[in-house]
Structure 1
C-alpha cells in the first residue's frame, strides 16, 4: 500500500478482506445490540414485545447442568416465546440481568454468542433469589436484519438470597447444606 499523499491502493483480494472484516465487526455489534435489547426488555417486562427479537421459527430453552432441556422449558416459534414472556412477570416479578464474558463468533449470516449471567430477582413477589449461569445463543441475519434463532440458558445456580449458593445451589435442592 502507498504512503504519503498518494491514495491507498489495494488489489481486489485486499478490498474483499477489508469488506469481510468490516462485515464481521458490524455483525458483532448488531448481535450485541439484539442481546442488550433482550436483557433490557426482559427487565422492563416488555412481555409480547420480546417476540420481535426472535425469528418466526426460533427456539428458547433452558438446559440443566448436563446440557439436557429441562422438561416444560422449551418454546418453539416466535409466538410461543412471546407468550412465555407475557406470563413471565407472574413468576419472575423483579429481574436485573447482568452479562459478562462476551464472546461472539460470526460466520457469514450466522453467529453464536456466549455470555455469563448474574441475575438478582424476585420469584412470585415472595422470594429474593440469586441466579447465575450462561447463555449460548444462535443468531441469523435474514434480509439484513439480525435476530435470535435459538437461545439456550443454563442456570449454574439459583438460590435464595439469604441462603446463598454455598448452602443451597438450586431452589430444587431439597435441603440446604449445613454450614
Structure 2
C-alpha cells in the first residue's frame, strides 16, 4: 500500500474513533442530565442534545404506554418538563450504561446500550429498572446530536426501601 493510501486509511480510522468518542460523550451528557433533572432544571441543557426533528420513544408494552412517542425537540422538551415542576419526582436517579456498541458511518451513527436505573422517588417508593437503549445520531456543523432515541424495558421491580440509606459505610478498621 502506498504511503498516501496508508495515511488516508489512518485518517479515516482516526475520524471514526473521534466520532465514536463524541457520540459516547453525547449519550453520557444525556444520562447525566436525566440523573440531575428536577425542579427548575433548565431543559435547554437536555434538549440541545437532540436534533430539531428528533424522535424520543418508549418501545414495547410497558414503555410505549408509559412514555409514548415524541417527535421534534419541542415535544421532547414538553415530555421532560413534567419532571421539572413541583413537587419533585426523584429523590435519587442514577443511569448506569453498559454493553455499549457504537457504529459510525460518516455523518451518522448508531448506538446501543443496556441501562440499569435505580431510582428513589419523593413519594418514598423506589424502583430498579433495566432497559435497552438504541439511538441514532447525526453530526451537525458543531457536534453530534441524538436524532432517534428508543428505550425498551427489560425488567422493572419496585423496591421496599430507598436506595440511599443514612447508615455509615462499612469500612475495615
**TM-score band (shorter)?**
0.7 to 0.9
Deviations 1:128-152 (A, max 9, x none): 0010011000011021410100000
Partner of 2:157: 159
Query: Is this contact kept in 1: 2:125–2:160, CA < 8 A?
Result: no
Equivalent of residue 18 in structure 2, options 26, 47, 52? 26
1:88 paired to 2:83? yes
Q: Residues 138 and 150 of structure 1: is their aligned pair in 2 closer, same or farther, counting only changes over 3 Å?
A: same
Distance in 1 (CA, whole Å) between partners of 2:153 and 2:122 is 18
Partner of 1:14: 6
Normalising by structure 1, we get a TM-score of: 0.77
Distance in 2 (CA, whole Å) between partners of 1:72 and 1:96 is 18
How do residues 1-179 of structure 1 correspond to structure 2 at under 5 angstroms?
A: 11-45=3-37, 46-48=41-43, 49-64=45-60, 69-70=64-65, 73-88=68-83, 92-93=89-90, 94-123=92-121, 125-162=123-160
Divergent runs of 4+, >4 A: 89-92
Distance in 1 (CA, whole Å) between partners of 2:6 and 2:34 is 42
Distance in 1 (CA, whole Å) between partners of 2:79 and 2:13 is 37
Instruction: List runs of 5+ in structure 1 lacking aligned partners.
Output: 2-9, 164-179
Deviation at 1:88, TM superposition (A): 2.6
Query: Is this contact kept in 2: 1:41–1:50, CA < 8 A?
Result: yes
TM-align CA RMSD: 2.3
Deviations 1:155-178 (A, max 9, x none): 111110139xxxxxxxxxxxxxxx
Distance in 2 (CA, whole Å) between partners of 1:104 and 1:153 is 16
Q: Residues 89 and 157 of structure 1: is their aligned pair in 2 closer, same or farther, counting only changes over 3 Å?
A: farther
Q: How many residues align?
A: 154
Deviations 1:62-107 (A, max 9, x none): 10169x9447511111111122112135684131111111110111
Which is higher, the Rg of structure 1 or of structure 2? 1
Q: Residues 71 and 43 of structure 1: is their aligned pair in 2 closer, same or farther, counting only changes over 3 Å?
A: closer
Structure scoring higher RCO (CA < 8 A, sep ≥ 6) equals 2
Query: Is this contact kept in 1: 2:35–2:94, CA < 8 A?
Result: yes
Instruction: List runs of 5+ in structure 2 lacking aligned partners.
Output: 162-173
